[in-house]
Amino acid sequence: MAQVHSFLKLTWVELKLFARDPFATVFALVIPLIMLILLAAVFGHTSADAKANGLVVFRGVRGPEYYMTSSIGLVIVAIGLLNVPIHLATYREQGILRRFRASSIPAWAIFGSQIAVALVISALGSLIMVMVAVIFYGTRSPAAGFGVVVAFIMATLSFTALGFLIAALVETARATQGITLILFFLFWMLSGSGPPRAALPDTARRFTGIVPLTHALIAIQDPWFGYGWNVGELIILAGITITAAVPALLLFARDSES
Amino acid sequence: MSGDTTTVIRVANLRKSYGTTIAVEDISFEVFDGEIFGIIGPNGAGKTTAVECLQGLRAADQGEIRVLWFDPRSQLVQLRRYIGAQLQASSLPDRVKVWEALDLFASYSSRPVDWKDVLNQWGLSNLRDRSFGDLSGGQKQRLFLALAFVNEPQLVFLDELTQGLDPQARRMTWKLVQDICMRGTTIVLVTHFMDEAEYLCDRVAIVDHGKVVSLDSPQAIVDSLHVPLRVRFSAELADLSWIEAMPEVQKVERRGSQIEIEGTGPVLALVAAALVERGILPTDLRAERPTLEDAFIALTGREIEA
C-alpha cells in the first residue's frame, strides 16, 4: 500500500513537472491543436469520397473528422516520442536518476510514472482535440468507443516504449531533443496525420508502413470511423511496445549497474 | 569521536575498474560509529567510485564491503533504509518545488517522518514553494542535506558537499555537518578541499591513484611528515646568528624587514621568549603551521587541482 501511495505521489509530481514545462505543453497540446484547426479549415469542405492518385483521400470521412484523429496521434507522439525521452535523458544527464535511486525510489516507479503521465496527458490532450472538433466542426462520436480506447492506450504505450528506447540509446539530452524533433516531423509527414497518405507521392507512400504513427493512426481511426477493430494494427503496436521497451529497460539497468 | 569504537563500515581490498581504467586499485579502511571520516584526494583519485560502491550505486569488482550490518551488493534494499546520501554531480528537476521534493523523498523513506518537520529543521521553511532551479548553490546543498536526512539515517555519505559554494555558504554547510554529527550520525565526507577535511574530520584517508596513501587524524598525518613550522615577524635586526644558534631552528631567511624561521617542536615559544628577552616586540609575530594540504603534497607529490 505504501508503495502504491508513493508511486501516486511520484506520478503527481511528474504531472506537475509536465505542466510547468512550456516546451512539453506546446508540443503536446498547442501544435496538435493548431494542426487540427489549420487542416480542418483547409479541408473542411472536402467531400468524404474525394480522391487523389486514385485513392480515397480521407478514408471515407470528412476532413475535420480525419484531422481530429490525426491530432490525437500527434498528441501521443509528442508525449511518448518527444517528452518522455527528453525528460529521461535530462534525468540521467543531471544525475537525477542516481539521486532517485539512492533515495530508494525503485526503477519500476520511475518508468511507471512516465507511462502514467503519458497516458494521463495523452487522454487530456485527446479530449481537448475531440471537444474542439465536436464543437466547431460537428464531428461524430466514435462508432466503437471501446475499440478507440484500446487503440489509444496501445498507441500511447508503444510511443512511450519508443521514447524509453531513444533515451536509453542516445547519450545526451540535447542529442535526444534533436533526434526526436526530426522523428516527430517525419512521422507527421509520412503517417497521414499531415498530408493524407493518398495525397503523398508514390515514393513517399512506400515508407508510410514503417512509420509507427501510421499504425497507431489506423488503429484509432478504424473503430472510430465504423470500420471495426483493426486487430492487425493492434498487434503491430503491441509488437513495437515490447521490442522497444525490453531492450530499453535492459540498457537502463545495465547503465545503473556499471 | 567518543570512546565508543563500533565499526560501521569495513572495506577490505576494494577494487573497481571501468574497462581498462582502474578507478580503485586497492582500498581498505574502517569507519567508526559517530565519527566524521574523510576521504580526500585529487579529482580522479577514485574517491567517488569507492563511496558509490559502499552505497551500492556501483558494483565493486573485488573486495569485502560491510556497511552497517549489510553487504551493499546483496542487501541493498535493507541498507538504504539506514543510510543517507548527498551525491556528487547529482541534481533534482529544475521545476520541482522544495516541499514537493521533501514530500516525495519522505514518502519513499522507510521511517515515516513528517516532511514539514524536516523543512523547519533545515531552515527551509521560507523556501518551501521555491523551484529547485531558482535556489542558490548554498540553498541547493541545504536541500540535499535535508533530503539525505529525510529517513533519519545512521550513516550519511556526503560527496563534494561544498563544491561551487562561496566561502560563507561553505562555512554554513560545515556548521550543519557538525550539528548532524553531534546528533550521533556517522558521516563519510568525500572532498578534495583539504581545509574542509582538516576542519571537519576526525580521521581521513588520503586516496591517490586508487589507493590509500595515508590514514589517520589530520593532525597525526601532518605531524608524521615532520613538515617544518614557519615563524614570521618583522624587525630591523642586523644580526641573526643568535636565532640560527637555537637547536630547534633549521633555517632563517630575511626579506627586507621580514624574517622567516623554519623549525620544529616548540620553536615558536622559544623564538618569542628570546625576542622578548632582547626587548624586541614585533606586533606581527606569527607561526604558520603545516596544513593537511602540505602533508598531501608531500605524500602524493602533487598539488590539489581545484
Of A101, A96, A9, which Cα lies nearest the Cα of B79? A101
- Using a CB–CB cutoff of 8 Å, tell me whether B190 touches chain A: no
Where do the domains of chain B lie, and which CATH numbers do they carry? Answer: 7-223 (3.40.50.300), 228-289 (3.30.70.980)
Give the closest of B58, B87, B147 to A258, CB-based: B58
Residue B94 sits at the vertex; the CA angle it makes with B93 and B98, to the nearest 5 degrees, is 85
Q: Return the SS3 of B80.
A: helix
Burial class (CB in 10 A: 0-12, 13-18, 19+), A189: middle
- Using a CB–CB cutoff of 8 Å, tell me whether B49 touches chain A: no
Give the long-range contacts of residues B16-23, CB within 8 A, separation 24 or more. Answer: B16/B46, B16/B49, B16/B50, B16/B53, B16/B58, B16/B60, B16/B61, B17/B61, B18/A258, B22/B210, B23/B49, B23/B210
Estimate to the nearest angstrom the gap between the alpha carbon of A163 and the chain centroid: 10
Start-to-end C-alpha separation, chain A: 32
Give the closest of B90, B104, B147 to A10, CB-based: B104
Give the closest of A10, A17, A101 to B57, CB-based: A101
This complex has an ipTM of 0.88
- Structure confidence at residue B2 (pLDDT): 43
**Number of residue pairs across A and B with CB atoms under 8 Å?**
68
- Structure confidence at residue A52 (pLDDT): 81
In this structure, are residues A114 and A19 in contact, taking their beta carbons and an 8 Å threshold? no
Give the closest of A2, A10, A95 to B87, CB-based: A95
Give the closest of A94, A104, A256 to B108, CB-based: A104
Q: Which 3-state string (H, E, C) describes A177-224?
A: HHHHHHHHHHHHHHCCCCCCHHHCCHHHHHHHHHCHHHHHHHHHHHHH
Judge whether residue B275 has pLDDT over 50: yes
Q: Which of A20, A98, A113, A114 to mutate to test the interface with B (most CBs of B within 10 A)?
A: A98
Of B216, B225, B214, which Cα lies nearest the Cα of B264? B225
> Is B90 close to A98, i.e. CB distance below 8 A?
yes
Burial class (CB in 10 A: 0-12, 13-18, 19+), A108: exposed
> Is A94 close to B90, i.e. CB distance below 8 A?
yes
Of B99, B35, B27, which Cα lies nearest the Cα of B65? B27
Minimal CA separation from A107 to chain B, in Å? 12
Q: Which residue has the higher pLDDT, B165 or B26?
A: B26
- Structure confidence at residue B126 (pLDDT): 95
State the average pLDDT over residues B81-91: 85
The 10 Å CB-count burial string (b at 16+, else e) for B121-156 is ebebeebeeebbeebeebbbbbbbbbbbbbbebbbb
Q: Which residues of B touch A10 (CB under 8 A)?
A: 104
Could you tell me how many residues make up chain B?
306
Distances from the Cα of B197 to the Cα of A29, B1, B201, B208, B219, angstroms: 52, 15, 5, 15, 11
> Is A95 close to B18, i.e. CB distance below 8 A?
no
- Structure confidence at residue B111 (pLDDT): 76
Q: Return the SS3 of B278.
A: coil
In this structure, are residues B40 and B50 in contact, taking their beta carbons and an 8 Å threshold? no
Give the closest of B57, B96, B107 to A6, CB-based: B107
Q: Which residues of A touch B108 (CB under 8 A)?
A: 6, 103-105
Q: What residue has cell string 574523510?
A: B38
Judge whether residue B276 has pLDDT over 50: yes
Q: Which of A49-63, A142-156, B22-36, B198-212 has the lowest average pLDDT? A: A49-63
State the average pLDDT over residues B55-80: 90
- Structure confidence at residue A222 (pLDDT): 95
Give tens-digit pLDDT for A169-180: 998 999 999 999
Q: Which of A72-81, A128-137, B177-186 has the lowest average pLDDT? A: B177-186
Q: Which residue has the higher pLDDT, A60 or A117?
A: A117
Give tens-digit pLDDT for A183-212: 999 999 999 998 888 888 888 888 899 999
- Using a CB–CB cutoff of 8 Å, tell me whether A254 touches chain B: no
State the average pLDDT over residues A75-87: 96
Q: Which residues of B touch A258 (CB under 8 A)?
A: 18, 58-59
Considering only alpha carbons, which residue of chain B is nearest residue A101? B57
Minimal CA separation from A2 to chain B, in Å? 8
Write out residues 85-144 of A within 8 Å (CB-CB) of B: 90-91, 94-96, 98-99, 101-105
Considering only alpha carbons, which residue of chain A is nearest residue B54? A102
Q: Which residue has the higher pLDDT, B126 or B80?
A: B126
Q: Which residues of A touch B147 (CB under 8 A)?
A: 99, 103
Judge whether residue B304 has pLDDT over 70: no
pLDDT band at B303 (very low <50, low <70, confident <90, very high): low
Q: Which residues of A touch B57 (CB under 8 A)?
A: 98, 101-102, 256
- Structure confidence at residue B3 (pLDDT): 46
In this structure, are residues B93 and B77 in contact, taking their beta carbons and an 8 Å threshold? no
> Is A104 close to B110, i.e. CB distance below 8 A?
yes
Minimal CA separation from B227 to chain A, in Å? 41
